[in-house]
Structure 1
Amino acid sequence: MDLSTSQKATLGYAAFLGVGGLMGYLKGGSQKSLIAGGASAAVLCYVYMELPQNPVLASSVGVVTSAALTGMMGSRFLRTGKVFPAGVLSVVSLVMTGAYLHGLTRSVR
């Protein structure tokens, strides 16, 4: 199976969020991090699977998910000033939001 660049990026992003949520739980006992990271990773796994068959739907779900994470983690970064994890995650999510928007505009044409 040959994966598209969008699928590879989505899979990497999902893994990043899932591992980050697990790290937050293991290091700080944060169940909130575990649940949020796991849920976000699960949604992005759906996006990954749906991209080849329905790129408009998949990119739309990806935009909403990554934009929400950009907003939440960006505001947390502004409030706490902590580069990791809030600053890093907000930047990665912003980049992925742009990637999904790019994919969406290419799919709609």
Structure 2
Amino acid sequence: MFVCVLQPQLVLCNSSVPGSPSGMFASVSNMSVDWAGYGYTALIASGGVFGYVKTGSVTSIAAGALFGGLAGLGAYQVSNDPNNIWVSLATSGVVSGLMGNRFYRSRKFMPAGLMAGASLLMVGKLGMTLLQKPQES
């Protein structure tokens, strides 16, 4: 009997058949998932939806979709190659600037302060990634 379990990054197989190749389905890829990036993506996208539902702001849902999509693309790229942080860094930097300015003018934590803070945390996380790993040319 051959039992296989498919997980997001790895296929694990347990074979009870003697002599079967157990290493045949060992590793599909060795990519690590950027959970912080995907969480940031969900925060941006849900913030856009929440702004639309609460106030009917089409700008909120458009910005949430645009920046959420870019953040998702960045998280996907970081998951595939941890050195490929540029889309994620640019997106979080722009959102940090826009929402930081909005927070500075309004002095309201929700939603501008929350988004600016989360974006600054992402910029810091990605900056630390740049400092820790030397770039290969």
TM-score range for the pair, normalised by the shorter chain length: 0.7 to 0.9
Give me the whole-angstrom Cα distance separating, in 2, the residues matched to 1:86 and 1:72: 9
Which structure's residues are more often strand, by fraction?
A: 2
The one-character-per-residue Cα deviations of 1:10-62 (angstroms, maximum 9, x if unpaired) are 110000000000000111011111011111111111122212333333x1111
Query: What is the aligned partner in structure 1 of residue 128 from structure 2?
Result: 102
Q: C-alpha root-mean-square deviation of aligned residues, in Å?
A: 1.7
Give me the whole-angstrom Cα distance separating, in 1, the residues matched to 2:65 and 2:79: 23
Task: State the identity %.
Answer: 32
Q: What stretches of structure 1 of length at least 5 have no aligned partner? A: none
Which structure's residues are more often helix, by fraction?
A: 1
Give me the whole-angstrom Cα distance separating, in 1, the residues matched to 2:59 and 2:73: 21
Map 1:1-109; keep pairs closer than 5 Å: 1-2=8-9, 4=32, 7-57=34-84, 59-109=85-135
Which TM-score applies when normalising by structure 1? 0.87
Give me the whole-angstrom Cα distance separating, in 1, the residues matched to 2:40 and 2:107: 23
Task: Could you list the structure 1 runs, at least 4 aligned residues long, displaced by more than 2 angstroms after superposition.
Answer: 1-5, 52-57, 104-109
Instruction: Give the secondary-structure state (helix, strand or coil) at the position aligned to 1:108.
Output: coil
